[in-house]
Structure 1
Amino acid sequence: MPRLPHPTPEALRRDPLPLRGRTALVTGASRRAGIGHAVARRLAAYGASVYLHHHVPHDAAQPWGADRIEEVTASVTEALGDPRARVIAGPGDLADPAVPAELLGRAVEALGGRLDILVANHALSGSDGDLDTIDAAMLDAHWAVDTRSVLLLVQAFARHRAALEPRTPGGRVVMMTSGQDMAGGMPGEIAYALQKGALASITRSLATTLAEQAVTVNTVNPGPVDTGYMTGEDYEAIAAMFPAGRWGMPDDPARLIAWLATDEADWITGQVISSEGGFRR
């Protein structure tokens, strides 16, 4: 096979809208303080049209509460880099096994019949414990939301991409894991750590499966990110564990995820990538 030539000077110049004309579904994008919202803003700024998935009852039941979806949508819309792009929001309880495929179908229809990028950012908060307190209900709840729904979303996305023109370029899947494989693990969140670890473990298998459809699959570990769930002395103690002396902000992993969605990352697949600012456990 002949070697590929070096890129032309024109090809080396960055397009300010590298996702112009692309479409994306971002799950768990219902809070302006969250990673999903930050990812959606980055994708929109790069030119993509974005479908925002939300499940307000989950956030409403948490200490941080829920945002008005209209405000979340407006925040992403104001970041649009391409005036022809759109931002659409829709609900979905991904604990229901029928919802992932239904949600993906709604996103495809709303975005004009093609979906290029799937960012599975959602997760279940709470309903967890250590080895002594964990029970079957906690394990099942995290399995349903954190793992099963992600795999069903990827399945629906793969079927959608297979129906497009052969090897339509630009297909991207990004899943989210956590620090369960790092030093110390997550002994107080056994169910969450278990299910997020499953996503990290399946990344390469999914990447190999979807390679024929020109879809890359990667998983991002964002590390501790300030999404408003911790304050006080505990917050300061975590901040001191970063070389920069601060927590990660939602836009920190969002920049990586948005880059993975561009053509510049076309050669990156099957990887679990940490974006955690040198966090020292």
Structure 2
Amino acid sequence: MKCALVTGGSRGIGRAICYKMAQMGYYVLINYKSNQGEADKTLAQIKQDGGDGELLKFDVADKVDIQQVLNGWIEANTEKYVEILINNAGVKDDVLLMWMKDEQWDNVIKTSLDGFFYVTRLLINDMLVRRYGRIVNVVSLSGLKGLPGQINYSAAKAGVIGATKALAQEVGRRGITVNAVAPGFIKTDMTEGLDEKSLKAMIPVHRFGTPEEVAHAVGFLASAEAAYITGEVLSINGGLYS
């Protein structure tokens, strides 16, 4: 059974990507860290729409947790394999550098950058053996442009962008593509505190994006038809920055 793993899949962009993967016919592994209620809602909707999947609770910032839970699932489910990996999990903890605490730096870096490394390393070997795989990393406008107050988040996402380009060169000959999508301002709970009225005036399409619009782009990059696209970062920001 072909599976798609979506980290941080319980809500927001991650939830929309889970729905998209289910629509594409994949058995969806919905990773979440702590919000069981939202994860349950995501899985329930997938099943209601005729798809299937299961929840995988682990912290992508914790390599021991990843090893125990994700590797444990791999060993226990020999009839299933992860063909699609969407590294979506990420957190923000915004503050100016001069006031940033060690734990604010560590938590944001570990969730995005360490999470990418440990989860991808665990799954890449099976993709190499099968000579097929799709890896899509959800990064950010912040990782391309840099945003004040987001030194940690910008550094984390820029790191994943660099890793995306490097890994694409390592595994391309084995039928594995590695790409990234870089959303701008998307209407999720992560942008609820922003001044949408003033910010959308800066965006050429004059609105925030939707999680579904990001998921559609992820679905394309995760498809068989995108086989000749790798090492790319697709901006989804309404023309704000390119």
Query: What TM-score do the two structures reach when normalised by structure 2?
Result: 0.89
Give the residue type in structure 1 aligned to 2:88. N
Q: Deviations over 1:127-165 (max 9, x none)?
A: x42121123322222221110121111111112223x44
| Native 8 Å contact 1:23 1:111 kept in 2 | no
Instruction: Tell me how far apart the structure 2 counterparts of residues 119 and 233 of structure 1 sit (CA, whole Å).
Output: 26
From the CA coordinates, give the structure whose radius of gyration is larger: 1
* Residues 80-104 of structure 1 deviation map (CA, whole Å, 9 limit, x = unaligned): 4xxxx52111211122112334443
- Structure having the larger proportion of residues in strand: 2
Residue in structure 2 matched with residue 16 of structure 1 by the alignment: none
SS of structure 2 residue aligned to 1:221: strand
Which of 21, 24, 46 aligns to 1:76? It is: 46
What root-mean-square deviation, in Å, do the aligned CA atoms of Structure 1 and Structure 2 show?
A: 2.3
Contact 1:30 1:53 in 2 (8 A): yes
CA 1:262–1:54: 2 relative to 1, 3 Å: same
1:253 offset after TM fit, Å? 0.8
Q: Give the match for residue 56 of structure 2.
A: 90
Unmatched segments (≥5 aa) in structure 2? none
Mapped to 1, the partners of 2:49 and 2:202 lie a distance apart of 32
Structure 1 partner of 2:234? 273
The residue number in structure 2 matching 1:124 is: 91
1:142-189 per-position Cα deviation (integer Å, ceiling 9, x unaligned)? 221110121111111112223x44x2x3x0011121123555x21111
Distance in structure 2 (CA, Å) of the matches to 1:243 and 1:222: 15
Residue 239 of structure 1 is matched in structure 2 by 200
SS in 1 for 2:81: coil
- List gaps (5 residues or longer) in structure 1: 1-20, 58-65
Q: Which among 85, 95, 106 is matched to residue 140 of structure 1?
A: 106
CA distance in 1, matches of 2:67, 2:172: 21
Asked whether 1:46 is paired with 2:24, we answer yes
Q: Which amino acid aligns with 1:74?
A: A
Find out whether 1:257 has 2:221 as its counterpart: no
Query: Matched residue pairs, number?
Result: 241
The answer to whether the 8 Å contact 1:173/1:218 transfers is: yes
Residue pair 2:56, 2:70 contacting (<8 A) in 1 also: no
**Greater helix share, structure number:** 2
Match of 1:23 in 2: 3
Aligned to 2:70: 104
d(CA) in 2 for partners of 1:246, 1:172: 30
Match of 2:181 in 1: 220
Specify which of 196, 201, 205 is matched with residue 166 of structure 2.
205
2: CA distance between counterparts of 1:95 and 1:247?
29
Read off the aligned partner of 1:137 and give its amino acid letter: E
- SS in structure 1 opposite 2:166? helix
Task: Report SS of the residue matched to 2:199.
Answer: helix
Query: Equivalent residue for 1:12?
Result: none
Cα distance, 1:230 vs structure 2: 4.0
TM-score with structure 1 length normalisation? Answer: 0.78
Share of identical aligned residues, percent? Answer: 27
Q: Distance in 1 between matches of 2:161 and 2:144?
A: 12
Match of 1:178 in 2: 140
